[in-house]
Amino acid sequence: MEGGDICSASNSLRVISSTMARDHATTAMDVFSRSSGVDEDDEEALKWAALEKLPTFDRLRKGILMASRGGGANEIDIQNLGFHERKRLMERLVRDAEEDNEKFLLKLRNRIDRVGIDIPTIEVRFEHLNVEGEAHEGSRALPTFINFWIDILE
């Protein structure tokens, strides 16, 4: 084999492996989804393919951001985002992750209940444990600004 053939073969293997990894990740994510038969948008797929061809350093600094109100996917440069754009992006990512985790855990719980698997329980016992606490009665127990300052002064 010539050197060019080896290079093109390794490039094609890299593209095939990245495509297979992305397809496997997509199918793994669709295990609990309701509609797994929805096809990807061609434009979004082309943008992902273009990002995959970028060098690693550039790939770390670019991403595809889905518009929140039914718009398409936009390619963004992470370094050029302003403070407010970064804040909104982080809030959206955290919010979506929390919702996705909750949905996943609820579906997993329903599936475990349907199958009838008993989840093991753990019992923790403490020896020689002393617990102390303070409690206020009446209006002193309410979390008001005045009670806050009185607690600090005490």
pLDDT in tens, 4-44: 444 444 444 444 445 554 554 454 445 444 444 445 567 76
List, in order, residues 6 or more apart from 76 with CB less than 8 Å away. 62, 63, 64, 65
Q: What is the predicted pLDDT for the residue at 4?
A: 44
Please write the tens of the pLDDT for every residue from 71-84.
666 777 878 888 88
The structural domains of the chain, with segments of one domain joined by +, span 42-80, 81-117
Q: Where are the alpha helices (DSSP H) in the chain?
A: 3-29, 42-53, 56-61, 83-115, 145-153
Strand partners, 64: 75
Please state, as a whole number, how many other Cβ atoms lie within 10 Å of the Cβ of residue 48.
Answer: 15
Please write the tens of the pLDDT for every residue from 95-149.
776 677 788 888 888 888 888 888 888 899 999 999 998 888 888 888 888 888 9
pLDDT band at 91 (very low <50, low <70, confident <90, very high): confident
Q: How far apart, in whole angstroms, are the C-alpha atoms of residue 39 and residue 114?
A: 30
Q: What is the predicted pLDDT for the residue at 83?
A: 87
Q: What is the mean pLDDT of the chain?
A: 71
Q: How far apart, in whole angstroms, are the C-alpha atoms of residue 19 and residue 16?
A: 5
Please state, as a whole number, how many other Cβ atoms lie within 10 Å of the Cβ of residue 96.
Answer: 11
Strand partners, 63: 76
Q: Are 62 and 75 in contact (CB under 8 A)?
A: yes
